[in-house]
Amino acid sequence: MIRRVVPDVVSNQNLLTLPKTATVEQAAVCMAERHVRSVLVVDEDQLVGVFTGTDLIERVIAVGKGPQATVLSDVMSASPETIAPDRPAIEALRIMQAGGFRHLPVVHKNKLVGVLSRRDFIREEEDEIDLEEKLWEEM
């Protein structure tokens, strides 16, 4: 059975969005309160970036930036890849695998409708990706 991104994988999400002018500290507090590892960064209701726990470590803490004074636009992953909600879930996983990232925003007609995380995928889809990679290595 082919699962679609929406509603099979992304459903009833209460997205964590913050403006690009929010501070890293504000983002970290919101992420902790919501028990999520990513923030969708918006500017006038348009997705402009993604900020993750990895960004917090690598682009803020590890380089000595202050989370209170650093704004998301300075440390987010700008212009992130997205996927449409009618695409198969396995395609989303392929995009994340190829890009080396763990979060993929779902956008429909320029409107943010969800975000996928590697944790959203079932073992069957991950096994299919592993098999594809093994076949490519053998070629």
Total-model pTM: 0.80
Domain count of the fold of the chain:
2
Coil, strand or helix: which one is 137? helix
Q: Which domain holds residue 50?
A: 15-80
In a domain, 10, yes or no: no
Q: Is position 69 within any domain? A: yes
Q: In which band, very low, low, confident or very high, does the pLDDT at 9 lie, cut at 50, 70 and 90?
A: low
pLDDT, tens only, 57-102: 999 999 999 999 999 999 999 999 999 988 888 888 889 989 999 8
Cis peptide before 7 (omega within 30 of 0): yes
Residues in the chain: 139
Q: State residue 75's pLDDT score.
A: 98
6 located within any domain:
no
Residues 99, 72 share a domain: no
Is residue 88 within 8 A of residue 116, CB to CB? The reply is no
| Integer Cα distance of 41 and 79 in angstroms | 10
